[in-house]
Structure 1
Amino acid sequence: MPVDEIKPTRAGLLIVRRRLALAERVHRLLSMKLDGMMLELVRLTDEAAEERRALEEKYAGAREMAAVAAMMEGATGVLLAALSVEAEPSYTAGHRNIFGVRLPALEPVMVRKTLDQRGYGILGTSSVIDDAADAYEDLLEAIIVTAEREGGVKHLLDDIEKTRRRVNALEFKIIPELTDTRRLIEDRRDEMERQEWTRLRRIKKIKAKRGSGL
């Protein structure tokens, strides 16, 4: 029932009071959720920035190791070693729940490999190939971790904006409207009670005059 259709009766007043109590309770809970999400956002943002810096360092290191391997083994040797790997690196995507928000949880799959899993053998290559492979495996893990952190930041930002809109709607529209409606109904009921009391008093006086006339 819309607020403007509620009648100034005792039942209508109870409806408004219940709605107002519910709106205030939801406002408190959403405000607490918003505060918690803001703290989590700060933490995730710091972690994402740190992971991004680490990612850039590992990228530079991997490029350097690849250049060394190409210089020692030749570009063809590096390419053949890379093509020898059969199991492609991947990841599994899950979710974790933070304040009711589903944040991405990424788990590397076949990123770290043993020498046997790399497939190129240890006799036909030098250690620089292994060093380059290690560096790029580190880089891939850093990419997955960074993607998880930055994805979490994006999800949190979206939900923070939605929650903030709901909090503002409750605080500046719904609760004030319900408060005004409650006040109007209470004032209207007080006026009706005064009118009823005046009417009863007038009836009592009339009856008293009639009784004294008899």
Structure 2
Amino acid sequence: MPVDEIKPTRSGLLIVRRRMALAERIHRLLSMKLDGMMLELVKLADQTALQRKDLEDKYARAREMAAVAAMMEGATGVLLAALSVEASPTYTAGHKNIFGVHLPDLEPVMVKKTLDQRGYGVLGTSSVIDDAADAYEDLLEEIIRSAELEGGVKRLLDDIERTRRRVNALEFKVIPELTEIRRFIEDQRDEMERQEWTRLRRIKKIKAKRAEKL
């Protein structure tokens, strides 16, 4: 039933009170969810900042090891070793539920490889190729972890904004409007009761006068 169709009657007052109780309960739950998401966002943001530092360090090390390998084995030797890898690194994408928000949960697949899985001959290359491969595998794992954290931060920010709009709508629009309607109905009912009491009193006086005449 739309609000403007609610009549100033007892049933109308009950409808408004039920709607107010529901709106206040939803507002309380959403406020608790918003507080929880804000705490989770702070924690994720701190983790993301630390992860970004690790990512930069591992990127610098991977570049350094690649330069050493190119110097020792030549750019062609590094390229041939890279092309010999058959299984491309990837990841599986899932999600974890935090306060009703689906945050990404990424798992590396075939990122870290054994010497046999890399495909190039152990005897045909030096250890600098292995060191460069190790460094880039560490970098790829760090990239996947960073993508998971930054994706979680983005989704939390989006849901925090949506939840905040709903909380504000309930707090500053829905609940105040229902409060005004409840007061209006209560005032109308009080006025109707006063008028009814006045009418009954007048009728009582009329009956009393008629009884005296008899």
Which of the five TM-score ranges fits, normalised by the shorter chain?
Answer: over 0.9
- Specify the code of the residue in structure 1 equivalent to 2:199: R
Map 1:194-205 onto structure 2 (within 5 A). Answer: 194-205=194-205
Residue 84 of structure 2 is aligned to residue 78 of structure 1:
no
RMSD over equivalenced CA pairs, Å: 0.5
SS at match of 1:87: coil
* Alignment partner, residue 169 of structure 2: 169
C-alpha distance in structure 1 between counterparts of 2:39 and 2:166, whole Å: 19
How far 1:9 sits from its partner (Å)? Answer: 0.2
* Alignment partner, residue 99 of structure 2: 99
Q: Which runs of 4+ in 1 moved over 3 A?
A: none
* Alignment partner, residue 129 of structure 2: 129
* Alignment partner, residue 44 of structure 1: 44
Deviation by residue 1:16-39 (Cα, 9 ceiling, x = unmatched): 000000000000000000000000
Q: Percent same amino acid among aligned pairs?
A: 84
Residue 212 of structure 2 is aligned to residue 212 of structure 1:
yes
C-alpha distance in structure 2 between counterparts of 1:181 and 1:193, whole Å: 18
Residue 28 of structure 2 is aligned to residue 28 of structure 1:
yes
Deviation by residue 1:38-93 (Cα, 9 ceiling, x = unmatched): 00000000111111111011001000000000000000000000001000000000
C-alpha distance in structure 2 between counterparts of 1:73 and 1:210, whole Å: 124
- Specify the code of the residue in structure 1 equivalent to 2:212: S
* Alignment partner, residue 186 of structure 1: 186
- Specify the code of the residue in structure 2 equivalent to 1:43: K
Structure 2, unmatched stretches of 5+, are none
Map 1:4-15 onto structure 2 (within 5 A). Answer: 4-15=4-15
How far 1:4 sits from its partner (Å)? Answer: 1.9
* Alignment partner, residue 68 of structure 1: 68
Deviation by residue 1:161-200 (Cα, 9 ceiling, x = unmatched): 0000000000000000001110110111010001001000
Aligned length: 214
Structure 1, unmatched stretches of 5+, are none
How far 1:5 sits from its partner (Å)? Answer: 1.6
- Specify the code of the residue in structure 2 equivalent to 1:176: P
Q: TM-score, normalised on structure 2?
A: 0.99
Deviation by residue 1:92-115 (Cα, 9 ceiling, x = unmatched): 000100000000000000000000
SS at match of 2:147: helix
C-alpha distance in structure 1 between counterparts of 2:2 and 2:175, whole Å: 14
